[in-house]
Amino acid sequence: MFTLRTAKWLGVSACAALLAAGCAATQRSGEVPQSAYAGGKLNLGTAPTTAEIAHYFSYPADGRGLPSGSGSYAQGEKVYQTKCLACHGDKLQGTPLGDRLIGGRGTLVNNSPAKAPVKTVESYWPYATSVFDYVKRAMPFNAPGSLSDDEAYAVVAYILGEANIVAKNEVINAGTLARVQMPNRNGFVSPDPRPDVP
């Protein structure tokens, strides 16, 4: 360990190396002494195999990396009834155990504390890729990550069909998913406008 400890005191600024990596190099906290580290790599860790990396997934809105496979509304209805209905309700209306998944369009513009907006996949979610990503990673809640890609595509086709976002005869796959226009696609702003009060 002594080499690493002494590395901290080599006095060579790491800022150059960090700047090369696009670092703002500002020491905001005064507690993260990045400039105290020697530049250059420490050559720690190992190179993962392609298979190890392929084990993971995350699908941004442009749909890159989506898996092969596909699913229809009809197939999704079966998946939904056996694996989702118990918590999300027979009409996707939600139960105390799981969120409501459809409805709520037109409730987002509201300035009354007496009316709670209805935020669902149909009314609120800006991207269909997020639904596939989330269902594949975290649902069903009692068996997370257990759906096949075909099942995940199918149940998304079913939810989007029930939400009147895609036609019930449309097949959802890597090609079609990212092209789905969600009703609230333009409902979000960033960057953060705060501070927003004087």
Partner 1 sequence: MKTQDPYDNEKTRRKIEAMVEAEERYLAALRRERLESEATPLRITGRRTFLAAAAAAAGIGGLPRIAGAAAPPGAVERPVPADPTKVQGTPTNDDGGYGSRSQFESEARWRFGTPTKESSWTMTPLEHGMGIITPSGLHFERHHGGITTIDPSRHTLLVHGMVEQAKKYSMADIHRFPSISRTMFIECSGNGLTEWSKPTLKTVQGTHGLTSTSEWTGVPLALLLRESGIKPGAKWVLAEGADAAVMTRSIPLDKCLDDAFIAYGQNGEAIRPEQGYPIRLMLPGWEGNTHIKWLRRLEVSDVPYQTREETSKYTDLMANGIARQFTFVMEAKSVITFPSGEMKLPGPGFYEVTGIAWSGRGKITRLEVSADGGKTWADAHLQGPVLPICHTRFRFPWLWDGKPAVLQSRATDETGYVQPMLKQLTDVRGLNGPIGSIYHLNAVQSWAVAADGSVTNVHA
Q: How far apart are the first and last CA of the chain?
A: 50
Task: Please name the helix (run of DSSP H) or strand (run of DSSP E) that holds residue 172, with its range, or none.
Answer: strand 172-173
Q: Which stretch binds partner 1 (CB under 8 A): 67-75, 150-158, 162-170, 187-195?
A: 187-195
Decide if residue 96 touches partner 1 (CB under 8 A). yes
Query: Binding mask 64-93 vs partner 1 (x if CB under 8 A, - otherwise)?
Result: -----------------------------x
* Residue type for position 65: G
Residue 4, CA atoms < 13 Å, CB-side half-sphere: 5
Given candidates 14, 118, 128, 131, which one binds ligand HEC under the rule CB under 6 A?
131
Structure-block tokens of residue 73: 């509304």
Min dist CB 151 to partner 1, Å, is: 17
Residue among 88 and 153 whose Cβ is closer to ligand HEC: 88
Decide if residue 183 touches ligand HEC (CB under 6 A). no
Residue among 57 and 141 whose Cβ is closer to ligand HEC: 141
Min dist CB 74 to partner 1, Å, is: 24
The residue with tokens 């009809």 is 74
Cα Rg, the chain, nearest whole Å: 23
Decide if residue 179 touches partner 1 (CB under 8 A). no
Rounded Cα gap, residues 28 and 114, in angstroms: 42
Rounded Cα gap, residues 12 and 152, in angstroms: 52
Decide if residue 7 touches partner 1 (CB under 8 A). yes
Which residues are bridge partners to 173 per DSSP?
A: 70
**What is the footprint of ligand HEC within residues 52-111 (CB under 6 A)?**
83-84, 86-88, 97-99, 101
Q: How many residues bind partner 1 (CB under 8 A)?
A: 82
Neighbours of 126 (CB within 10 A): 14
Given candidates 26, 51, 179, 181, which one binds partner 1 under the rule CB under 8 A?
26
For residues 98 and 172, the answer to whether their CB atoms sit within 8 Å is no
Instruction: Using CB under 6 A, list all residues that contact ligand HEC.
Output: 83-84, 86-88, 97-99, 101, 120-121, 131, 134-135, 139-142, 147, 155
